[in-house]
Structures are given as C-alpha cells and as structure tokens.
Chains A and B, each alone.
Chain A
Amino acid sequence: MNRGTPPSTDPAPPQEQGVFNLGELVAGNYEIRSVLGSGGMGEVYEAHDRVLNRRVALKVVRPHIAADYLLREGRALAAIHHPGIVAVHAMGMHRSVPFLVLERVRGLSLDRMIDERRARGESFGLVEAADLLVAIADALSIVHKAGLSHRDVKPANVMLAPGARVVLMDFGLVLPHADRAGHRSVAGSLQYMAPESLTGDLADGAAQLGDVYALGVLGFELLTGIEPFDGSEPVDLYRAKTRVPLPRVTDHRPDVPVVLADLLAQMMAPEAADRPQGAEAALWQLRTVRKGLETSQAPRRFSVLVVDDDEDMRTALTLYVRTAVPDAEVEAIGDGRSAVKSVRRRVPDLLLLDLDLPDINGIEVCMLLRGMQLGSACMIVSVSGRATKADVELLQQLGVRSLEKGPALMNDLVGLVQRMRPARP
C-alpha cells in the first residue's frame, strides 16, 4: 500500500538523524518534545511553545526538498481559516533550516481508524461515513474557494479530533489552481491520485478536480475498508483507474444506497470533466445523500433546536413545539457557539433562535449558518423580544422568519410548526 507523503501527527519512534533533535530549543522558543511523523519529504515534531505556553507542531522538510514547499504550505494555510483545516501559527528559521509552526491537532488519523476497524472486522456505518465525507468536502471546499488545490487528500491526512472535529492536514503539496507548471509535476499518493495527475496531463481549469477524485477514493475506502485500485506502480494504477468497468462500492458493500455508490463512482470518473466540478459541488451532493440516509434509515422525528440564554424561554419554546408535535425531538441550548456546533453535527428541521445571546448574537449565528447552505433542510426562526425593523429586514434577507416574544408567541409558533409538520392521522 502506498500512503505517499508522511502522516502529520501520529506518534512515531524518534529518528536517529532527524533535522532537529529531541530537547533542542528551536529559534529560542520551541522546545522539541517528540517526533510526530517522519518520511521522505520531511519531519513533523511536537514542540512546546515557551512564550505562549502551548503545544504546537513543527514541520520541516529534508534538505534535498526545496524550502519553497514549506513556504507555499505556510502561505496557503495563512489564507484559510476554518475549523476543518489545520491552522498555521508562524514560520521561522533555525540553524538555516526553515520550519513551520502549526496547530497541534490531537486525535486519531482516519487511516488509523480505518485500519483499526478493518482489524476488528468492522466497517463504518453509512451515516458515519457520510458525515465524515461531508466534513472533509466542507473543508476542501474552503481550500478550493481560496483558489488552491490540496493535492494530497487521503485518510492519513484527515484527523478526527475531539468534539467531532474533522481536520484536513498536510498541505505540503498545495498549489494555486493557476499554477499550470506545478500541476503538471507528478506528486501525491498514488492510490488517491486522479489518472490525469498520474500523467501530469491536466486540462486548464481542472486542477481542483484531482482533490474530488481523491475524496471519492477515500469514500470508497471508508465504506469498504479496502482501496479500490490494485497496483504499486504508476503505470499499473493508471490502467486500473481507467479500465472499464471501474470498481463499485456496492460490489463490496451491498447495503450502500445506489445514490451514494453512484456519487462515489462519479467522483472517481477517469475523465475529470465527468466528476462534480469542485469540492463545493461534491459537498452539495454529499449533503443530499446524507439527508436521504437519515430519512431512509428510520422514521425521522421532527427535530427542533431551541437556542435561548433564558431557561424559562427554553422551557416555554420546548413545550410550545411539543404542543404542535408531541413526539418532536427538541434540543435546547443557551448560547450561539453551541448552536452552530449543534447544527454542524446535525441539521434540525427547525431552529428557534433568540437574537440577544451572550456570546455571538442570533444574527451572527445566522450568518455563520448561511455558509452551510442549509437551504430547505432547516427553517430558521428568530424569536426576539426586541428586534428592530433593521434586524427583521436583515433576517428576511438571510431567509430567516421572525416571531416576537409575548402572549401571542404560543399560537404563532404552534401554527407555524403545524404548517411545517401537519399532525399525523
């Protein structure tokens, strides 16, 4: 199995001839504590940042690798800010060796998790796998929107961190879409590389479609526990990736719905033009598949997220919803950040949102959620005691309805919920 460039964080035995030494103080601030990853391209260390008193990851490339790689990675990460993407803190130089200071992401890499499941004879659940693919596509869509291609999407470069955070790592091969010469140089992890990336024969404007391909391969592996293509040499893999019929996920996992199997096949299409045209397009389709899985797997209960910092209001809103739909699944939370986290975890049918929250206010929550393109999947209703006309207008522009706190709220809300979810016979 060719896993390509080194994984970024899993602990590994210390290397005898590392670029930096254990215990070494780098640039007068970063104390090297352990080796997290080591490979042909470079090394990643865990270090203690003495000034800010925190753990960080320090990345270096081996002397024969152009330092440009590191600079490109640092600049790419500096341009992107997203919880699904590892953060860069700084770049520096020590003993004439350039190094990158990165967020230390704790957790388990996806390839380790796949290996562990395989060893136990277990596979990922459909919803679990779809959630992971959605999260990775979400992060990747941010990379693509920044005009960049990751070029090394694979399970080893995805970390599953606490709090259900899925983090895309190792941007060592990142390139701007427009860097035509760069894209024609063959680099990456063979199993996950698109046929055109193996030959360096990329069409103009198609740079990001290699990432979509890699995500499809990753999805195949996630669901089946095996890599879809046999071969260790580029020529063998190129043949396997372009030979019809292509492997289908349902050949190994019959319970995968046709719609998901078709989407993965489309993502792994030999011709770049036949794939979803970027991570954003793949994300949209994956979300649709994910939503479908939920409804097909169980008779879904009407779900509502109540967000209000006043416990009395949370109680009232919960009971009003249950007046309309007695078996509604209601989650009630008291702050905006938890609301965004909850929606990212699971999109409710209805979000009842107080505008005046202590941390980030309701309008800011709506703005953050707008980036998730919830569309018709979730109706957002603001519930406020003091919304101004300007607030209401802004909310309307964001597609958010408004209800007022007060004696009419119960009737207003019950009516709205019943219209959304007519009573069952």
Chain B
Amino acid sequence: MPDPTVEQMLAEARAQFAASLPAKAAAIEEQLARGAWEEAKRAAHKLRGSAGTYGFATLGAAAAEVEEALIASGLQPDAGAAARIGEKVREARVEAERIARGGT
C-alpha cells in the first residue's frame, strides 16, 4: 500500500479530531462542575484554537466565549456567571456531538 499523501493525512487528522470533540467538551463540563476554573480555561483555550484551525468555526467561537467568560470572572465566577458559562459549554457540547456525527 502506498504511503498516504499529506492531504490524506490531513483528512484523517481532521476526522480523528472531530471524533474527539464530545470528550473534550465533556471534560470542560466536568472541570466546571468541580470548580477547576483554571483547568477549564486552559481546555477552552485549546479547543478555541484547534477547533477554529480544523475548520469548525462555530465550535471554536463557542469555546472562545467560554474562555473569555472565565477570564472576565477572574477565574472565580459567582453562581450566576458559573451558570451562564455552564450553558455555553453545553451549547459547545451539542455542537461537538453534531460534528462527531459527521456534521461540518
């Protein structure tokens, strides 16, 4: 079998990344649930950059909102802010699951 081309490797990497998205979003939800704000911010930051780069702009934007909201709260969100951030993460997870099912 010939070696895959760079284009094939890119397509494979994008598919693998898409498949991993629900777990990434779920991880952020779990970090928020236990108040690990710094961890959640870092994970959202990574997702913001990588989702955008792999061409999943809506998810990248959702992750960016989570990151910015956490930063705005000084990594100490009050109950109201935490609820709003939690809602944004749930939206991100829905989008991640849609992508993993083959959405673009």
Contact = CB atoms under 8 A, between A and B. Distances in A.
A385 B6 contact: no
A309 B67 contact: no
Contacts of A406: 49, 52-53, 57, 60
A310 B6 contact: no
Interface in B18-54: 20, 42, 45-46, 48-50, 52-54
A406 B49 CA distance: 6
B13 interface: yes
A386 B57 contact: no
Contacts of B60: 406
A424 to B, nearest CB: 16
What size tier do the contact residues of chain B reach? Answer: 20 to 34
A310 B13 contact: no
A322 interface: yes
Contact of B52 (A326, A356, A358, A405): A405
A412 to B, nearest CB: 11
A319 B13 contact: yes
B10 A323 contact: yes
Given A326-B6, A356-B45, A386-B67, A315 B13 contact: yes
A319 B54 contact: no
A409 interface: yes
B46 A407 contact: no
What size tier do the contact residues of chain A reach? Answer: 20 to 34
A316 B50 CA distance: 8
A91 interface: no
Contacts of A309: 46
Interface string A201-226: 00000000000000000000000000
A16 interface: no
A313 interface: yes
B53 A319 contact: no
Contacts of B45: 356, 385-386
Contacts of B6: 319, 322-323, 326
B94 interface: no
Interface of B: 6-7, 9-10, 13, 17, 20, 42, 45-46, 48-50, 52-55, 57, 60, 64, 67
Given A316-B50, A386-B49, A409-B53, 17 more contacts: A309-B46, A312-B46, A312-B50, A312-B54, A313-B50, A319-B10, A322-B9, A384-B49, A385-B64, A386-B67, A405-B50, A405-B52, A405-B53, A406-B49, A407-B53, A407-B55, A407-B57
Interface of A: 309-310, 312-313, 315-316, 319, 322-323, 326, 356, 358, 384-386, 405-407, 409-410
